[in-house]
Structures are given as structure tokens and as C-alpha cells.
Amino acid sequence: MKNQNEEILITANKLRWEVGENIHDSILESIYKEASDIASKVVKHMGEKSKFDLDRMIDRIVTGKLTGFPVMFILLAVVFWLTISGANIPSGWISLILVDTIHPWLKEILSSIHTPWWIIGVLIDGAYLAMAWVISVMLPPMAIFFPMFTLLEDFGYLPRVAFNMDNLYRRVGAHGKQALTMSMGFGCNAAGVIATRIIDSPRERIIAIITNNFSLCNGRWPTQILIATIFIGGTVPAYLAGAASAAAVVAIAILGVIFSLIVSWGLSKTVLKGEASTFSLELPPYRPPRILQILYTSLIDRTLFVLWRAVVFAVPAGIVIWLVANIHLGSLSLAEHFINSVNPFAFIIGLNGVIILAYVIAIPANEIVIPTILMLTVLSAKIAIGSGAGIMFELDSINDTAKILHAGGWTTLTGINLMLFSLLHNPCSTTIYTIYKETKSIKWTLISTFLPIAIGITVCFFVTQIWYFISG
Amino acid sequence: MNLENQNCTNCPAHNVTNLVKLGIDMSNFDFVVALAGNPNTGKSTVFNNLTGLRQHTGNWPGKTVGRAEGGFLYNGKRFKIVDLPGTYSLLSTSEDEEIARDFILFGQPDVTVIIIDATRLERNLNLVLQVLEITDRAVLCVNLIDEAKRHKIQIDDRLLSKNLGIPVIPTAARQGIGIPDLLKSIYDVTTGKFICKPHRISGEMKNITNAVDRLNKKIAESFPNLPNTRWIALRLLEGDQRIIDAVRSGEIGNLKPVESFTSD
């Protein structure tokens, strides 16, 4: 049997010389010919093809040399503007219910049955409040942003983005499909990293994995939107505030794309040398979006999925926050010790110790950065708001958030640097784990983790120094 | 009374109500269904329609990475369905194409459902012909028929079925149109009610035909049960490493033709 098999292979090898190189082409040719024969028999075009082709016309605008990028930026800006201006009010309602009503009520019940103070602290002021905060801050912007994003996806706009970007990525030595994985990263970096499987060359795939983190993910959109609303929207007249904040968020997103291009270029010129491989990208026809399907996908699959993840991570983080704020070494709490010791370094890069500590606590999920920052700010600045230091407090509106941050010594520069640092820092732990699973390499996982932090610190440092220089 | 019942169970309308979407429950399945097709033709939408799962669908190519699996119960039979990555061909060697090709060849699905875009029939047929080289049991799902109508394209599905030798079902999966007929065809092919006589490519260049015939004869002698020896011969002539290995190890001989399935 074995011999017979070998004999087949030997015969095949011999015959391969006889048939020569063109067998592949010959097979393809006959396939194409028969496909075209059959198609010509069964396909009938009814009447004249209409002269006006809507798909073509839309494509001419959204993928045009001159119009492609402006249309892309405008679409993004409109989406953010709607999100920013629409999210504030429902956010207030949810916080009114979860934080102002249910929180004191839970506390009262537990005290009435004589629960020890530290259990109430850990469970209610730590775990429950962290969860309530995450829901009220994140749910409204996500419930507005995701359906709009899914609408664009279902309509067929994403491949056009890839088509516009493809050339840029090829020019920096990366794969054109990286434009698609980058788009996926705007939803979730872990998903974006998995999506790099569509890139065949290992070299280009690793570039795509390392740079995926420069796509702002779900967890970071709310941070960007909130900080932009407070610090950028606050610097312009009220009627411009929404537009200015939206523009700032778009600018950060575009900056992320620029960084992914620069880093891709750097990698493909140094450690990951090579030529970009070619591929063909088919622009699918535009399809009328299915509204119900979109609402379902975006609300159940995306919004609730992300929210659930945030809540799952917020609960233990809330406990950690409460503990570091309430366990004292000497006269100061653990959190204050940490904040005081990193402050000198943090000020050089235009941040503060609170932000650094928040990013350490929030490694599992970017979603909880803002709640953590607020709580720690109250604690370290000893601001008398809400129910006192060491717990998360009532925040009915963005105005209250702004008051706390200003009282904590935040300036517009801190806001800008936080937005930059939120874009340029390590991926969340889920993404890091996914990168390890996909690359099976500790080296690339470490590079993907620390490269963005190094870039973030450098960028914040220069922004801060230039800001000080200009403002004297 | 008895006759009436029989008529009912034979009617496709009856069977539709018999579709039970099993989601990811694939235990004790009777048949394996593979979903193949070009990128962005609606494979995932058909997959979701049949399984009740919500595999993410999106209007862009290359969205399904690797493969997704799910199950459904139809007319008392349990089907396991595998959504393969979208590919333009099964010839060249990208990872996606290899996953799809290997599953259709070595995974031995009981039926391969090929989903094509009605508005791009000719280009999509290239893949269909390649799938039919590999497997004997296939159903063609001409999807996006609503869009074809919008573009004033009419497709003669009966003539297409005659040419390809497999059932051809026009569908608009996004609206659920044609799914009952598709289910019935899947059922008919897997249970042997419909015997496919798949179209095989014939017109290569002379010197190749000669070589293929000689090799084909040798393969057929060693592996008398193989249904697609000609295709194996072509792959060997092209130097396809995966197939060379499969011949060397004899793995290729374990692939069974249709008949031996039913007698198992």
C-alpha cells in the first residue's frame, strides 16, 4: 500500500515536468471559461441597465481622491456630535436612580440589620457604586454610538474606509487589510487583534497586532467624550461646545490612526523588515440597512456585552479602590502614599498621581478609568462632596464631574494629556492576553504592551513642556 | 386518514414548521452541512437563519475568521452546520482557502451549501465549479436575489441546476426568503432523495488531459473508493503539498464515497 502511494507521487513528479509550468493557468482558464459559458446561458439582463447607478455615485464621493477623507471625517464627527449631545440627559436619569436613590437605600437597609461598617464600605461604597457609576456613564453614549456605527457597517461603509486607507498602509510597509482590522479595533481591540487573522503574512500580521491598540476602543470612547466635553467644550462659547468636543474626539481618533501609520512604518523599516503584499478588496454593494437587526446587534451584542464586561471588572476594582482609600499607613491611606510619590513624575508629563493610579487599577478594563479618577480625586483633594472621602459619590451631571476635577487642580492641559494618554497607553488585560494567544510570543506581547506606554509618556511630556513654554 | 398524514409530512410547508434552531447544541448530529462561498455573499446570514445563532454579520468581506459551527433540527434529523471563511477560490494557498478546502475534502460534509451573490453570478461560479470538483454532494444557494431584481438581473435557476447537476435555490436570506426551500434541498441531498450529478470541468489543454488521465488511472487503482480522483490528480500535478502528504500517508484513501455513508 505504502509503495503504491509513493509510486503515485513519483509518477506525479515525472508528469509534472511533462505538463510544464502552465498547468495552474490552464486549470484556471478552463474554470473561467466554463463559468462564463454557464453564466451566459442562465443570466438575463432585463431591459436597459439604468443609466443612473446610485452605488457608483455614492462610491465616487466616499472613495474619491479629494472627497474620500473629508467625508470620512465629517461622518465620524456627526456620529460623535450626536453621541455627545444626546448622552448627557439619560446619563443624569440613570445616575439619579442608581446612585441617588438606590445607593442610600441599600446602605440604610444594611445598617438597620447591623452590618459592620467595613462590609458596607466594601460592598456598597466600593463594589455597588463602581458598578452604578459605570452604567450611568457608559450606557447612554454606547446606546447612541453603537447603533450609528453598526448602521454604517451594515450599509457597507467600512470597506470604503479600508479602500481609502489601504494605500496609506501599503506605503508604510504594512498590509492594506490592516485598515479593516483597525476599523474592528474601534469597537474592541481584542476583537481587532483576532481579526488580524485575515492577514496572511506573519510579518504584516504582527505589525497589525501591535498597532491595533491605536484604534480607540469602546472602553476609551466614553473617557474621550466626557473629558472633551468638560475641558474642550468648556473653553468655547456654549453654542459651540458640542461641536468643539466632537471635533476634539475626532482629532484624537485621527491621531490614533496617524500613530498606527508611524509605528507601522517604524516597525517595517526596523525589526519587521519586508515588502507589503498585495491583495484584492471587493467593494460590496450598498445594502439598505435593516433597522431592527441593527438595533439588536448594537444593543445586545455590543452595548450590553461591553457594559457587562465593564460591570464585571468594575466590581472588584471598586473594592480595590475602597480598600486603598481606607487602609492607612501612618496618617495617610495607601492611595495617598502612592499618589504623593508619583506626583512629581506625573506633573512633568502633565498628568497627576491620581491618573497614574487610576490607570494601574484600571488595567483589567479601560471602561472604569473615569470613575476611578473621580473617586481618587475626591479622596486626595479632600473635597467635601457627596458622602465623604473613600467612596464614590453622587454625580448627577457632567457639571458635577467638572467641578470635582477643577477642584482637584485639573487644567485644560491635564484634560488634553488625559485624552492623549487614554489613546496612548497599554492595552487592557483582555487584549494583552489575546495578543499572547494569537502571537504565542512573549516578546511581541511585551512590545505591544510597553511600546504604547513609552509613546504616551513621550507625547504627554512634549505637549506639557511646549504648553508651559508657550504660556510662559 | 393515514394518507392525509403522509401528505402532510411530505409537504415542504409542513417541514418548515419542523425547523428547530439548535444554536450551538450540536450533540448527536446525523448530518454535517458545510457553508462555502465568496466573501460577503451572506453566508453568515444564512448560518444565523438556520441555527438561530447571532454570528456577527456585517457588510464587509473577510469578517468570518476561522469557522463557526452551529446546529439545527429539521424533519427529525439533527444537522451540524459549519460556516467556512469566504474565499474566491480553492486553488491558491491563503490560510482561508486552505481551511475551506480542507474542510470540504477531509471533513467530508454530507452536503456543501455554496452561497453565491446573484448579482455577480459569473465570478461566483468559479468557486462553485471548484467545489464541485472536490465533492459530490452540494446545494447552490443563489443569494441576494432581491438585489439582482433591483439591478434587473434575472437568473434561470432551473437551467442552472441542470447545468451544474445540483439543486439550485434562489434566496434573499436577509429577508428569510427561500430558506424553507433551501432546507428541503439540504435534507433531500443528505438523505439521498436527490442524487447530485455534479458538473466536472473538462476542457483543459491536451497535454494536461493526457497526464491527468494517466495519473488518474493510478490513483483510482490504489484508492478505488475515492469519488474525486481526477481532482486529486490535478492537485498532485500542481504540487499541492497538503494533498501530496495525504496521498503519502494514505489519509486520502479514508475518504468515503456517498454510497458507503448510507450503508454505515
Residues of A in contact with B219 (CB under 8 A): 8
Whether B220 and chain A come into contact, CB under 8 Å, resolves to: no
Whether B159 and chain A come into contact, CB under 8 Å, resolves to: yes
Residues of B in contact with A200 (CB under 8 A): 94-95
- Is residue B87 within 8 Å of residue B97, measured between CB atoms? yes
Give the C-alpha separation, A316 to A361, whole Å.
Answer: 10
pLDDT at A388: 45
Average pLDDT rounded to a whole number, residues A246-272: 90
CA of A268, closest CA in chain B: separation in Å?
Answer: 22
pLDDT at B161: 94
In the chain, the amino acid numbered A98 is L
CA of B126, closest CA in chain A: separation in Å?
Answer: 6
- Is residue B211 within 8 Å of residue A18, measured between CB atoms? yes
The helix/strand/coil state of A345 is helix
pLDDT above 90 as % of chain A: 15
- Per-residue pLDDT of A279-307, as tens digits, reads 666 677 777 777 777 777 777 766 777 67
- Is residue A172 within 8 Å of residue A264, measured between CB atoms? yes
Tell me which of A77-81, A238-242, A271-275, B251-255 is least confident. B251-255
In the structure, what pLDDT confidence band is assigned to residue A47 with cuts at 50, 70 and 90?
low
CB-CB under 8 Å, A45 with B153:
yes
pLDDT at A394: 44
- Is residue B31 within 8 Å of residue B110, measured between CB atoms? yes
Question: Any alpha helices (H) in A65-156, and if so which ranges?
Answer: 68-95, 103-112, 117-120, 129-155
CB-CB under 8 Å, B62 with A11:
no
Q: Is the pLDDT of residue B2 over 60?
A: no
Tell me which of A207-221, A318-332, A381-395, A409-423 is least confident. A381-395
- Is residue B149 within 8 Å of residue B178, measured between CB atoms? no
Beta bridge partners of B78: B73
Strands B68-74 and B77-83: antiparallel
Give the C-alpha separation, A253 to A214, whole Å.
Answer: 8
pLDDT above 70 as % of chain A: 90
Average pLDDT rounded to a whole number, residues B145-152: 87
Q: Is the pLDDT of residue B255 over 90?
A: no
Q: Is the pLDDT of residue A256 over 90?
A: yes
Query: Taking the C-alpha atoms of A198, A249, A429 and A136 in order, what is their torsion angle to the nearest 10 degrees?
Result: -120
pLDDT at A255: 94
Give the C-alpha separation, B180 to A307, whole Å.
Answer: 37
In the structure, what pLDDT confidence band is assigned to residue B11 with cuts at 50, 70 and 90?
low
Average pLDDT rounded to a whole number, residues A242-261: 90
Whether B203 and chain A come into contact, CB under 8 Å, resolves to: yes
> CA torsion sign, A325 to A327 to A333 to A337?
negative
pLDDT at B257: 44
- Displacement of CA A53 from its chain's centroid (Å): 36
- Per-residue pLDDT of B29-43, as tens digits, reads 889 999 999 887 888
Q: Which residues of B143-173 are buried (b: 16+ CB within 10 A; e: fewer)?
A: bbbbbbbebebebebeebbebbebbbbbbbb
- Is residue A216 within 8 Å of residue A228, measured between CB atoms? no
In the predicted model, what is the mean pLDDT of chain A?
A: 81
Residue of A nearest to B161 (CA): A42
Place of cell 441617588: A100
pLDDT at A452: 94
Residue A121 DSSP class = I
Question: CB-CB: which of A19, A47, A159 is closest to B60?
Answer: A159
pLDDT at B105: 85
CB-CB under 8 Å, B123 with A35:
yes
Q: Is the pLDDT of residue A184 over 80?
A: no
Tell me which of A21 and B62 has the higher pLDDT. A21
CB-CB under 8 Å, A19 with B211:
yes
Give the C-alpha separation, A420 to A459, whole Å.
Answer: 8
Closest CA to B87 of B139, B138, B134, B124: B124
B200 CB-side CA count, 13 A: 14
In the predicted model, what is the mean pLDDT of chain B?
A: 80
Q: Which of A21, A26, A42, A51 should one mutate to test binding to chain B, selecting the residue with the greatest count of B CBs within 10 A?
A: A42
Whether B237 and chain A come into contact, CB under 8 Å, resolves to: yes
- Is residue B60 within 8 Å of residue A149, measured between CB atoms? no
Residue of B nearest to A27 (CA): B204
Question: CB-CB: which of A194, A290, A297 is closest to B174?
Answer: A290
Interface of B with A in 86-125 (CB under 8 A): 91, 94-96, 119, 121-123, 125
Q: Is the pLDDT of residue B252 over 80?
A: no
| Most confident stretch, A127-136, A337-346, A401-410 | A337-346
pLDDT at B263: 33
Tell me which of A377 and B95 has the higher pLDDT. A377
Closest CA to B134 of B229, B44, B251, B14: B229
Tell me which of A89-93, A264-268, A332-336, B257-261 is least confident. B257-261
Residues of A in contact with B39 (CB under 8 A): 282
Whether A285 and chain B come into contact, CB under 8 Å, resolves to: yes
CA of B250, closest CA in chain A: separation in Å?
Answer: 7
Q: Is the pLDDT of residue B166 over 60?
A: yes
| Most confident stretch, A97-106, A107-116, A414-423 | A414-423
Please state, in angstroms and as integers, the Cα–Cα distance from residue A454 to each residue in A216, A224, A426, A459, following that order. Answer: 17, 20, 9, 9
Give the C-alpha separation, A396 to A450, whole Å.
Answer: 37
Please state, in angstroms and as integers, the Cα–Cα distance from residue B77 to each residue in B144, B186, B189, B261, following that order. Answer: 28, 11, 13, 16
Whether B11 and chain A come into contact, CB under 8 Å, resolves to: no
Q: Is the pLDDT of residue B115 over 70?
A: yes
pLDDT at B191: 92
Question: CB-CB: which of A8, A43, A287 is closest to B247?
Answer: A8
Measured between its terminal Cα atoms, the distance across chain B in Å is 34
Q: Is the pLDDT of residue B85 over 60?
A: yes
CB-CB under 8 Å, A301 with B152:
no
In the structure, what pLDDT confidence band is assigned to residue A52 with cuts at 50, 70 and 90?
low
Enter the ipTM. 0.82
- Per-residue pLDDT of A364-414, as tens digits, reads 777 778 878 877 777 666 554 444 444 444 455 566 777 778 877 888 899
How do the residues of chain A divide into helix, strand and coil, expressed in percent and rounded to 5? Answer: 75, 0, 20
Whether A198 and chain B come into contact, CB under 8 Å, resolves to: yes
Please state, in angstroms and as integers, the Cα–Cα distance from residue A90 to each residue in A85, A230, A241, following that order. Answer: 11, 17, 19
Question: Any alpha helices (H) in A156-233, and if so which ranges?
Answer: 158-171, 178-185, 189-195, 202-212, 221-227
Residues of A in contact with B56 (CB under 8 A): 297, 301
Q: Is the pLDDT of residue B90 over 70?
A: yes
Q: Is the pLDDT of residue B14 over 60?
A: no
- Per-residue pLDDT of B167-210, as tens digits, reads 999 999 988 899 999 999 999 999 999 988 988 877 666 667 78
State the DSSP string of B199-223.
-------HHHHHHHHHHHHHHHHH-
Question: CB-CB: which of B59, B249, B250 is closest to A155?
Answer: B59
Q: Is the pLDDT of residue A449 over 60?
A: yes
pLDDT at B57: 56
- Is residue A222 within 8 Å of residue A209, measured between CB atoms? no
CA of B115, closest CA in chain A: separation in Å?
Answer: 15
Question: CB-CB: which of A15, A42, A194 is closest to B237?
Answer: A15
CB-CB under 8 Å, A159 with B61:
yes
pTM (2 decimals)? 0.64
Average pLDDT rounded to a whole number, residues A153-178: 82
